[in-house]
A and B are shown apart, each in its own frame.
Chain A
Amino acid sequence: MGKVKIKKKETRIDMTAMSDVTVLLLTFFMLTSTFLQKEPITVITPPSVSEEKVPDANLLSVLVSPDGKVFLEVLGDKDSTLKSETVRADLLKNMAAEYNKLHPSNPVKFTAKQIDAFSKQNAFGVPMNQMAKWLDMPIDQRDKALEKAGIPINMNEDPNNPNEFQMWIRAAYNSMNENLQQAMVKGKGISIKADQTTPYSVVNVVMDNLQTMKMNKFSLMTALKAEEE
């Protein structure tokens, strides 16, 4: 009797189908994704039943940390000449002009390189007299410094003598991006993003500042909550 020949099995698996699936998934993720933006503080927004989505263009978000630090984020227009970078550069120039009007003895000035660095920054919030120094830092140090800073803000109801937060609001309102201005008037352009554990006194300061700047309409950022019927 001859030996029974054991048939050699092919160990290679056909990966074509697997590849098809992964490419499909990849395409899906690439098309639906919006990248997470780096934020100086992490906030968990409170839940609400509101179904209105946050606009993804022409938005000034006010990021409020539970201990009262305030940061700003600016989004420009989509698909136009007023991209976020352009709008931010313009905003900084406006803000410098506003600031120098009130502090003529101690004016701030920015180099083209600093303005360029600012335009690439998603969130910002350091006092104006430290802004130039902050923009000169390398990116990783900048993030760390930002966490400790925050825009100077206080209870101030005199629009003729604004604090820095109010100046930023005015600078954003008067920037070359008219769509942002319109959105701000309609109440869709300003959004407060605060953590749910924030005491009301902290949020109230921000709201009061906005009221002083005649921005009586704005929105609060919330997470979706399903409402049981």
Chain B
Amino acid sequence: MAKNLSRQKKFDTRIDFTPMVDMNMLLITFFMLCTTMIKSQTLQIALPSNEKVEQEQQNKVKQSEAVTIIIDGKVDDKGLSKPDEGMLYFFDGMPPQGEELKNLATSNPMKQIEFGAKTGGPLTPIREILQERNKEVLKKINELKKDWKEMKFDPKNEERNDSIYQAKARVIRNDSTLKRPVIIIKATPNASYAHVVSVLDEMAINSISRYQIDRINEVDSAMMILLQGQNVK
């Protein structure tokens, strides 16, 4: 008996893992195909209320601070807006009223700039204009940014450094002692949604705290048509 026991055959303890790997690979493929890794971002906007009272309040915006931007685009035969074609019209101050309306043809305050080559492309011309209007705020923000990059707010804790910077930047953006522009954004029906978002984006990039989306009116379209007429000549 004892001899028999000692002669017991040794089992191979190694298990073949190949099927296991096969199955895992299949599962990985499944998960890779069915998941979204990138989460969408959101852009918060606030529109003025539809009520008339607030409309009048808007008009009290100081003349020197207002900039109206009108976004225009082209629609193709499928009814889609072309994201790479667009035009920006803008003018400073209040829209012309009364007597000024009669002289629009000779003294049109509106100017136009071509949109960047592609959606999300550089909006440099309008950015320069916005930066010029908002230079007091931007100067302070840039000083702050320098401190932030050098981790001056909290040299050890990066997260805290960030949050202090964000809080200080918010104070500067809303500082009423600085000269801050009020941007009124309007869009024609043909303008593409992407262009509207990229103009809204410019507000964030250039630290502009006061902007609103408004509806295009007759005076705006009259000025646009006049301007387009002038360009054809």
**Chains A and B are bound partners:** yes
CB within 8 Å of B: which residues of A? Answer: 12, 14-16, 18-19, 22-23, 25-26, 29-30, 32-36, 45-54, 56, 66-67, 157, 187-188, 191, 193-204, 207, 210-212, 214, 216-225, 227
Q: In the complex, which range does the number of interface residues on chain B fall in?
A: 35 or more
Within 8 A of A (CB), among B145-200: 187-198, 200
CB-based nearest B residue for A194: B193
Residues of A within 8 A of B71 (CB): 200
A199 and B79 in contact (CB under 8 A), knowing A29-B31, A49-B204, A223-B40? yes
Within 8 A of A (CB), among B15-50: 16-18, 20-21, 24-25, 27-28, 31-32, 34-50
Cross-chain contact B28 with A52 (CB below 8 angstroms) = no
Cross-chain contact B119 with A211 (CB below 8 angstroms) = no
The secondary structure that dominates the A interface is mixed
User: CA A207 – CA B46 in complex, angstroms?
Assistant: 10
Cross-chain contact B31 with A197 (CB below 8 angstroms) = no
Residues of A within 8 A of B191 (CB): 199-200
User: CA A25 – CA B194 in complex, angstroms?
Assistant: 37
Residues of A within 8 A of B196 (CB): 200, 203
User: CA A114 – CA B14 in complex, angstroms?
Assistant: 55
Residues of B within 8 A of A201 (CB): 189-190
The secondary structure that dominates the B interface is mixed
Binds A, one of B80-88, B93-101, B102-110, B133-141: B80-88
B144 within 8 A of A: no
Listed A/B pairs (22) with beta-carbon separation below 8 Å: A15-B18, A19-B21, A22-B28, A29-B32, A32-B37, A33-B31, A36-B36, A48-B43, A50-B42, A66-B80, A187-B44, A193-B40, A196-B83, A199-B79, A200-B192, A212-B50, A216-B46, A216-B49, A219-B43, A220-B197, A221-B40, A224-B41
Cross-chain contact A34 with B36 (CB below 8 angstroms) = yes
Cross-chain contact B31 with A200 (CB below 8 angstroms) = no
Contact of A220 among B14, B25, B42, B188 (CB under 8 A): B42
Q: How far is the CB of A64 from chain B (nearest CB, A)?
A: 8
CB-based nearest A residue for B119: A196
Residues of B within 8 A of A195 (CB): 193
Cross-chain contact B187 with A204 (CB below 8 angstroms) = yes
User: CA A218 – CA B47 in complex, angstroms?
Assistant: 8
Cross-chain contact B194 with A211 (CB below 8 angstroms) = no
Cross-chain contact A196 with B204 (CB below 8 angstroms) = no
